[in-house]
Amino acid sequence: MKNSKSKKIAKIIFVILTVITLAVIWGHSMVPPEGSTEESMFFKGIFDGMLHNVSGNSSFSIPEVLIRKSAHFSEYALLGAEFCILYLLFFSKPEHIRLFPLYLNMILASLLVAMTDETIQYFSGRYSSVFDVWLDCLGAAVAIPLVYLLVRRFFISDKKK
């Protein structure tokens, strides 16, 4: 992004989106166990309905645990993508950013968010899981290099070409 005004707007937008994502993640962690189960069952009903419509077989059902774990992975994939974009936007020379240092920094940031997430869950009376922290980090770990490569490919001109 060469235009400094559009880069400034992008920074503001992605800071706001990241704050919203963090608020949603940590907000879900504050929901009591009954509310969390109710929310999972709501989405299970939606996905089961879609599965029944596509397959024509009403005996197919998605396990609740798959809904819950997919939510962990997806939330943190989104967060990892946002962290990556923010890092690229705020770095003075994005064309010099290399994947490995960016990756380590973003994974560490995601790990801190995930640990905070599970700590909030613990204090809200819900089950807190190291497995979920790993799953959260995996979501970020998948998204970060994909976003990095897409941004490098489509938005950062490489002077070496």
**Span 79-95, pLDDT tens digits:** 999 999 998 888 756 66
pLDDT score for 158: 53
pLDDT score for 161: 43
Residue 139 near residue 77 (C-beta atoms within 8 A): yes
pLDDT score for 7: 84
pLDDT score for 60: 82
**Span 2-27, pLDDT tens digits:** 578 888 999 999 999 999 999 999 99
CA distances from 125 to 11, 72, 83, 111 (A): 36, 18, 29, 21
Mean pLDDT (the chain) is: 88
Residue 83 near residue 140 (C-beta atoms within 8 A): yes
Q: How far apart are CA 28 and CA 23, in angstroms?
A: 8
pTM of this structure:
0.85
**Residue entry with tokens 């560490």:** 108
pLDDT score for 92: 59
pLDDT score for 1: 46
Residue 151 pLDDT more than 90? Answer: no
